[in-house]
Amino acid sequence: MSIFSDNEYIRLVKTILDNRFPVSSPKAYVHTYGCQGNLADSERMKGMLAELGYEFTDDINESDLILFNTCSVREHAEDRVFGNVGNLKRLKSEKPDLIIILCGCMMQQEHIALKIKKSYPYVSIVFGTYHMQRLPEFVYRALSKRERVFEITDTHEAEIVEGLPVFRDTSYKGWLPVMYGCNNFCSYCVVPLVRGRERSRDPEDVINEAKRLISEGAKDITLLGQNVNSYGNNSAFDITFPDLLRKINALDGDFIIRFMTSHPKDCTPELLKAMAESEKCAKHLHLPFQSGSNRILKAMNRKYTREHYLELVSIARELMPELSITSDVIVGFPGEQYEDFLQTLDLVERVKFSSLFTFIYSKREGTAAAKLQDPVSREEKGKWFKELLDLQESISVDIRRSMVGKTYRVLAESRVKEDSSLITGRTEGNVNIDFKADESKIGRFVNVKVTLAENLNLKGELI
């Protein structure tokens, strides 16, 4: 580390930028790939860039700094990054002073960082998941010394850095990280390798950030972690995730609380009871099951069975009859046979998920599953995948049709791109409804009666 503090780097960068941009502020373009955790990280990096003097733009061609916060969960996400970075070569040749930054999970993998260093010489800065707080330093080095900065050192015991500035795109929605990292080592997942071991934020820091969000107008607060259910494990404080949920629920204000992601092995009746008893907690549970086959779940190192998962669903719905449940599913895990896949279909049919996030297995370097034999062809997996999509679509359509004629409290979020006369709002159960309203409703709770279900699309009217 340098002898300069972060504040000193901010001062130094501001001086350089003031000299280079005497009339107008430099512009930064920030693009986030992957999960809500990455979105939260990007908000903190945008906060630091704003402190340095950057304004933000949605037009990449007018930017003076480009930052891609990357995801490594699936091969497709990585391919998109490489493709988009390749497209920046022309822009860099036209604007030699352009700073291009790649960071996040994908960059924490040494083989990826080395590929960027060798094959993309116009990329200015590369850093992994443990060095976000050093962004001002990295920008200073790129600006003042015109050096390429690569920092991907592995720091699994990294401390959580508090007090970073946050730049939020909307005041009415807030991402609130409560922990980082993961200890589960599911055999297909690269997250523990790029995010490190579980580290829980001090509850006082979480509560204080929640209070700030509420005071700034947040109506929808999502608590984030790779496995929020294990919040507080191996920590100096004696607060569990259900305890934290109740504490945030007790804060003054009109808002709803969401959380993700929950691991079934750590989802307890106490958590479900806390959800049910917390009136501000959305009655929506995202609970990834990944496979309906016990044999495959064991190979995935998920540490629960289909029977345990179904028992959790039964308890949750007994406590919260109105509960909406969503999940993640992997199709075609190495060694999976069609008989295993049929058990996945059976579980989907039993639970009746509101929606699913579905993926064909993606081999990730460094994971245990990457070493397994995978005899089923991609074409065959594609057929299974379509079966799953067709089943879930029919279930989702039935659920949405059952909503017609009912009134829901929704948070009005944004204009509908295809029809600017409509606003889309999200129910507590995480279902979108489009309705006619003026711009003033965005960011507010409104009551909407569902009038029409067009397959997966809902239309409604203000009440």
Of 130, 123, 91, 83, residue with least CA distance to 109: 130
Domain 285-402 has CATH 3.60.10.10: no
The pLDDT, as a whole number, for residue 155 is: 60
Residue 156 reports pLDDT greater than 80: no
Q: What are phi and psi of 239, to 5 degrees?
A: -130, 130
The pLDDT, as a whole number, for residue 102 is: 98
Q: What SS3 state is found at 182?
A: coil
Q: Tell me whether the CATH fold assigned to 170-282 matches the one assigned to 285-402.
A: yes
Model confidence over 40-90: pLDDT tens digits?
999 999 999 999 999 999 999 999 999 999 999 888 889 999 999 999 999
Please compute the mean of the pLDDT values over residues 26-36 and round it to a whole number: 96
Question: Regarding the domain delimited by 170-282, which CATH topology (the fold level of the hierarchy) does it fall under?
Answer: Transcription Regulator spoIIAA (3.30.750)
pLDDT band at 158; cut points 50, 70, 90:
low
Q: What are phi and psi of 88, to 5 degrees?
A: -85, -10
Domain 6-151 has CATH 3.40.50.12160: yes
Residue 2 reports pLDDT greater than 90: no
Sorted by where each begins, the domain ranges of the chain are: 6-151, 170-282, 285-402, 407-462
Beta bridge mates, 29: 66
Residue 234 reports pLDDT greater than 90: no
Q: Report yes or no on whether pTM surpasses 0.85.
A: yes
The pLDDT, as a whole number, for residue 159 is: 77
End-to-end CA, the chain: 58
Residue type, 303: K
Whether 204 and 241 have beta carbons less than 8 Å apart is answered as no
Between residues 235 and 101, which one has the greater pLDDT? 101
What percent of the chain clears pLDDT 90, i.e. is strictly above it?
A: 91
Model confidence over 437-448: pLDDT tens digits?
999 999 999 999
Helices (H), 352-408: 378-401
Tally of CB atoms within 10 A around 441: 19
Please compute the mean of the pLDDT values over residues 83-103 and round it to a whole number: 96
Whether 126 and 149 have beta carbons less than 8 Å apart is answered as yes
pLDDT band at 25; cut points 50, 70, 90:
very high
The pLDDT, as a whole number, for residue 4 is: 45
Measure the CA–CA gap between 415 and 426, rounded to whole angstroms.
12
Measure the CA–CA gap between 13 and 89, rounded to whole angstroms.
25
Q: Where are the beta strands (DSSP E) in 94-238?
A: 99-104, 125-127, 149-151, 173-177, 179-180, 199-200, 220-224
- CATH classification (class only), 407-462: mainly beta
Model confidence over 299-347: pLDDT tens digits?
999 999 999 999 999 999 999 999 999 999 999 999 999 999 999 999 9
